[in-house]
Amino acid sequence: APVTVKKICCIGAGYVGGPTCAVIALKCPNIIVTIVDLNKSRIDAWNSPDFSLPIYEPGLVDVVKEARGRNLFFSTDVDKAIKEADLIFVSVNTPTKKSGVGAGFAADLNYVESATRRIAAVATSSKIVVEKSTVPMRTAESMRTILEANSKPGLRFDILSNPEFLAEGTAISDLFSPDRVLIGSLQTPEGLDACRSLIEVYANWVPKERILTVGLWSSELSKLAANAMLAQRISSINALSAICEATGANIDEVAHAVGRDSRMGPKFLRASVGFGGSCFQKDILNLVYLSESLHLPEVAAYWRQVVIMNEYQKRRFSKTVVDTLFNTITNKNITVLGFAFKADTGDTRESAAITLIRDFLSERAHVTIYDPQVEEAQIWYDLAEAIPDTPIEQIKKQVTIAPNALDAAKNSEAVVIATEWKEFIDIDWKAVYDTMNKPAFVFDGRMILNADALRQIGFKVKTIGRGE
């Protein structure tokens, strides 16, 4: 019979583990939820008395305020939380491998494996182990093998796949009312029982018809497929944006017309400087690697093109900036507004802004950056990583970080919108114009500004996907 879950442990207090399990705690007051991580400063931030949490996510503070100390706990004592739990979420990072077999494509499973081995080493009772991280197919099987080979006799481990579909910036509303919750299990009586135990957790707030149950391998593949198809939509619209710029068509109008087809739908058709974030590229490369391992080179090439198009879009945008500024930006001041990979997050992983700034610096421009959420230290860290052959002191001579948009734009030749922060729409653009060198350019990589109004002020404006 299914176990009633009373204690949950979540291994990994990052962008997924933190918000997901905080919401579970909020919605399931009868379950004790402990979120653990090896990173002490991250856990300290989750526990900070003034709620200066390690990640910025609208609505998250309110959730943590209500549940923390009631039935939600954050700790570095991984072993204790594992021992006490009936159900364990594995929400650790699965980045793209940087070296070794599959480097640049395959997922690094080292963190998943360490967490799994820790569960095997310390568990003294049977557990349901839930794969929450996005993983290559058949990872659940590896986890089971490791658990069975290393645990104490007489214990059972049931493995479930329960991929997370939240998007950063809207994580809390996504978790409160998900389009679906997907649970994959073995189709054995034990596997189905474990599945029922997890359904009971989500059923505290998610309507049952939104909880989908499938086989383990379908569940693992569905997560990769969902991200690949979402990213593919963006690459498709971005590919069309290049045609628009070359012809005078308007990508907004094209996206609107296409999206009106109810088979297509209007969402996720915003042309941009290119998609970023920790997952789209990683998960597609993972799918490419899988396809190649399965000797399906045409399938691999198909998905790979989504990433190639994204790289092209970023390169194309920086080239437009250089071309428009009379073919040279050497010693010019370029202002980049936005550094996060999308609005409403402080996350910068794979942000298109990083690539653009790297391109501008390689043209020997001076770049001034402003982002409402990203911390200075993070910007220096990302630039150092993106430009490994230049010492950070040199980078710092070419880059300034400003406290607001107006300061950032002072004496610059061009303002580049890299992230769609709402506050950029409301900037006093007349004041910005007055402080800039002339002719003053705006490059809107996110289609958020009113180009006509800017032109009235005197700006020269280029918007992605518009051929005017």
Q: Which two tokens stand for residue 134?
A: 């996005």
Report the interface residues with ligand NAD, using CB under 6 A.
Answer: 11-17, 36-39, 42, 78, 91-94, 111, 114-115, 133-134, 164, 166, 168, 278-279
Beta bridge partners of residue 462, listed in sequence order = 443
How far is residue 20's CA from residue 163's CA, in Å, rounded to a whole number? 11
Among ligand UGA, ligand NAD, none, residue 358 binds (CB under 5-8 Å by kind): none
Quick note: the x/- pattern for ligand UGA over 124-143, rule CB under 6 A, is ----------x---------
* Cβ at position 275, least distance to ligand NAD in Å: 13
Quickly tell me which residue has 């569940």 as its tokens. 219
How far is residue 122's CA from residue 120's CA, in Å, rounded to a whole number? 6
Nearest Cα to 448, choosing from 467, 461, 437? 461
The Cα-based distances of 289 to 105, 294, 295, 345, 422 in angstroms read 6, 9, 10, 29, 37
Binding segment toward ligand UGA, per CB under 6 A, in 60-68, 101-109, 271-279, 372-380: 271-279
Among ligand NAD, ligand UGA, none, residue 31 binds (CB under 5-8 Å by kind): none
Among ligand UGA, ligand NAD, none, residue 342 binds (CB under 5-8 Å by kind): ligand UGA
Interactions with ligand UGA, residue window 280-339 (CB under 6 A): 280
Q: Which two tokens stand for residue 302?
A: 């198909």
* Cβ at position 219, least distance to ligand NAD in Å: 13
User: Between residues 79 and 323, which has the closer beta carbon with respect to ligand NAD?
Assistant: 79
Q: Which two tokens stand for residue 358?
A: 């790297």
Nearest Cα to 28, choosing from 66, 62, 61? 66
Among 35, 78, 166, 336, binds ligand UGA (CB under 6 A): 166
Assess 465 for contact with ligand UGA (CB under 6 A): no
Q: Which two tokens stand for residue 210?
A: 């939104």
Among 3, 90, 234, 449, binds ligand UGA (CB under 6 A): 234
Among ligand UGA, ligand NAD, none, residue 275 binds (CB under 5-8 Å by kind): ligand UGA
Among ligand UGA, ligand NAD, none, residue 23 binds (CB under 5-8 Å by kind): none
Quickly tell me which residue has 């658990």 as its tokens. 147
Cis, bond preceding 439 (omega within 30 deg of 0): yes
* Cβ at position 465, least distance to ligand NAD in Å: 26
Among 279, 300, 367, 369, binds ligand UGA (CB under 6 A): 279
How far is residue 423's CA from residue 344's CA, in Å, rounded to a whole number? 11
How far is residue 170's CA from residue 168's CA, in Å, rounded to a whole number? 5
Assess 268 for contact with ligand UGA (CB under 6 A): yes
How far is residue 279's CA from residue 347's CA, in Å, rounded to a whole number? 12
The verdict on whether 195 is a catalytic residue reads: no
Assess 19 for contact with ligand UGA (CB under 6 A): no
Question: Which residues are known catalytic residues?
Answer: 279
